[in-house]
Amino acid sequence: MGSVWKWFGLAGAVGVATGGVLVARDQRRRRAYTADDVRERLHRRLEEAERSESSGASG
């Protein structure tokens, strides 16, 4: 029975390590954007939101 708990502990440690790797990768990707990149993406999203709002409000 003690062996089962060791496997659960190992699986938990692997899960935590994997989660840390994913968070670090996401943060690196986010930091790679320049201010101009962020501004461009925000403007694009605003335009898309305005278009969908105007097409949905026509009824």
**pLDDT tens-place string over residues 6-25:** 988 989 999 999 999 999 88
What's the whole-number mean pLDDT along residues 39-52? 94
How confident is the model at residue 43, as a pLDDT?
97
DSSP 1-59: -HHHHHHHHHHHHHHHHHHHHHHHHHHHHHHT--HHHHHHHHHHHHHHHHHHHHHHTT-
What's the whole-number mean pLDDT along residues 15-40? 88
* Stated pTM of the model: 0.43
Examine the pLDDT at 48 and tell me if it is beyond 90.
Answer: yes
Look at the block and give the residue holding tokens 């335009």: 47
